[in-house]
Amino acid sequence: MTTPWDDWDHVLKVDPDKELVDGETFEDVCATGTDAIEIGGTTGMTKEKMETVVEACSKYGVPLYQEPSNPAVVIEDDALDGYLIPTVFNAGDSFWVTGAHKEWVRIENGLDWSRTHTEAYIVLNPDSSVAEYTDANCDQSADDVAAYAAVAEKLFGQEIVYIEYSGTFGDPEVVQTAADALEETTLFYGGGIGDYDSAYEMGQHADVVVVGDLLHDEGCDAVRETVEGVKDAHAAD
C-alpha cells in the first residue's frame, strides 16, 4: 500500500497559536521546499486559528494536513489533504491512546475516514509541553523505543511512527534503533532541528524530518536550510 508520505523527506509543522517572523507570509512558508505542511499544536488551539492557517496556505499547492490536538478543533475543509491523528504510545494518560479518539468519532458529521490517518507517537523529551500534556513516560531506553515502534507497526498496523523530542535535539542512536525495528512503516522524527547540519544528521536515520518551532523563531530561510539538509542526507543514502 502506498501512502503520500512514502515520497516525503521534510514536513513543516505550523502552530496556529504562534506568529510568523515579522515580514514573512504564508506564501513564503509554502515556498520553503517542504514536502507537506502539518497544521497543529499542543496548546491554545481553536477551530478559528486552524481555519486561518488552512485558508492562508491553501492557494500554493503544498499538501496540507491537520494534526488536531483534541476533537474540538477538527475542521472540515476541502483544502486539507487529510488528518494526522496522534496516538501517544507511551502516554501515562490513556486518553491520549484511545480516549480522545473515541470522542473524535463522535464529532458532528463524523470523520472523513478516507483522509484520516494515525501517527504512533513516542514522546521522549520530559520537559516538552506534549510530554506534560499526555503524562508521557519519557524514561525509555533505545530498546524500549524499538519495541514501541515494532508494536506500533506489527500489532497496531500504524503507517507512521513519530519519534518526538519536541524542543530538543534527540539521540540519533535511539532514532536509528527505531528505524531498524520497522519494515514498512514510515519513521518521522521531530525535535531540535535548527539548521542544515541537524537536519542532515537526523535525515540519516529518519524517513521524514519534521520542523516546527524554527519557522516561528527564525523564519523561512532557516527552514529552507533544513529542507536542503534532509534531502541531501537521503540523496547520499
Known binding-site positions for sn-glycerol 1-phosphate: 13, 162-167, 192, 212-213
Residue in the block written with cell 524554527: 214
**Binding site, annotated residues for Mg(2+):** 15, 42
219 Cα distance to chain centroid: 18
Binding-site residues, in ranges, read 13, 15, 42, 162-167, 192, 212-213
List of residues 6+ apart from 83 with CB closer than 8 A: 65, 66, 67, 68, 74, 111, 112, 115, 116, 117
Residue 197 neighbours by CB under 8 Å, 6+ apart: 229
Return the biggest CA–CA distance within the chain.
Answer: 47
